[in-house]
Amino acid sequence: MAGRPQELPQGDLTVTPRQAAMRRTRSTAVLVASLLLIIGLIAWIAIARGNNVSDYEGTGNGEEQVVQIKEGASLSALGPELEERGIVASDNAFQTAAANNQNADNIQPGFYRLQGEMSAESAVDALLDPQQRVTPLQVYGGATLMDINILGGQKRLGILTMIQQAACGEKPASDCVNLEDLNKVAADADPETLGVPEWARETVAGRAGDAKRLEGLIAPGEDVIDPHASAEEILTDLITRSAKQYESTDIVGRAKAVGLTPYELLTAASLVEREAPAGEFDKVARVILNRLDEPMRLEFDSTVNYGLPSVEVATTDEDRGRVTPWNTYAMDGLPQTPIASPSIEAIEAMEHPAEGNWLFFVTVDKDGTTIFNDTFEQHLNDTQRAVDSGVLDSQR
């Protein structure tokens, strides 16, 4: 019948089109509200979590942790590690703090002492603080592995002691390398494992039990030490790097050219380093080669001092008569090992010695003036000049 609403079957009920539309609208509204509630809940959880762990407060909990910024690595790459180790609460906070610090680009590669649970801002500040950077090991030309007592009460620190100081700082951690371990590894570890170059392994292996067998194999320079590395790891790293430096000069080829083995050249270069004033390396190298060719004993006071408990520039007749593996007054040829760490300049001086017939040299004044002579008579005259100027005064 016209004008009568159409009845739709719905179970036992009859629903009009208008009622069906209203039901659909209500269902949609409920669905939308539910989705909004879920989205809101997720956002609230995320915000709550972010507020709880986005950043710590303060400068740390006092528990030291050492981190490394590697050569060529960006500061941003450090963030995830700091978060994982609990040094900062989140990488995001660290990245934000770094971006907000205009000096962050000045942070240098190296090892740094941080603490657990630092605010991101204080972590960035610590990386900019020179006091928190682990001091690099600085080996100078002529340094020796062992400490040296100088007459008069002074002490010249050896490389092994300097390694301990560079690694441990003023407050050594329990896992920090110590001098005893360094000496033991230097004396007993397998030379190949330590990175000793092939041309030095036989000699080094033959002196097992003596830490001085590694003398000369750590080149002068600046090296960053991992404070938590073992004695063997530290020495292996230093010796391996040094071997690459020495071999970059073509030490094998150049040694053959001057009539020495590479290890002999290294040993001779250590004499140059200890005997020669600045600028005279190539002349002293020539004296060494000339004397070896004669042949005549080198008779260098530096080789006498190397075997003594206390040293000074001048040596006594008694000292010069001592038979040691290094004393070139009491033995022919070169010492059995280097007596110090030779610089690249000393190595290159032995590889490319000056031209000359000199057999003698002596430093005649405290300014470092050195005279080179062909004859013993001339040398005696200049030695007296050295005595008169006080260079060869003895406190023994």
In a domain, 380, yes or no: yes
Residues 124 and 144 in one domain: no
Range of the domain at 299: 250-389
User: On the CB side of 19, how many CA atoms lie within 13 Å of its CA?
Assistant: 9
Cα separation, 227 vs 18, in Å, equals 80
Rg (CA), the chain: 36
| 1-10, 23-32, 60-69, 106-115, range with the lowest pLDDT | 1-10
Structure tokens belonging to residue 370: 């050195």
| Contact between 358 and 283 (Cβ < 8 Å) | yes
Q: Which of 85, 84, 82 is closest to 121 using CA atoms?
A: 82
Residues 121 and 169 in one domain: no
pTM to 2 decimal places: 0.77
At 364 the pLDDT is 85
At 76 the pLDDT is 85
Contacts of 116 (CB under 8 A, 6+ apart): 60, 61, 62, 63, 65, 85, 86, 87
Cα separation, 310 vs 295, in Å, equals 30
In a domain, 327, yes or no: yes
Give the count of domains, the chain.
Answer: 3
For residue 370, what are the β-bridge partners? 363
In a domain, 44, yes or no: no
Residues 130 and 148 in one domain: no
Residues 219 and 266 in one domain: no
Q: Which of 256, 257, 285 is closest to 271 using CA atoms?
A: 285
pLDDT confidence bin for 226, thresholds 50/70/90: confident
Residues 329 and 202 in one domain: no
Q: Which of 61, 115, 123, 111 is closest to 229 using CA atoms?
A: 111
User: Is pLDDT above 70 for 394?
Assistant: no
Residues 305 and 351 in one domain: yes
The b-or-e profile of 42-77 (16+ CB within 10 A means b, else e) is eeeeeeeeeeeeebbeebbeeeebbbbbeeeeebee
Residues 82 and 154 in one domain: no
| Mean pLDDT value of segment 285-290 | 97
User: Is pLDDT above 50 for 39?
Assistant: yes
Please indicate whether residue 213 or residue 135 has the higher confidence score (pLDDT). 213
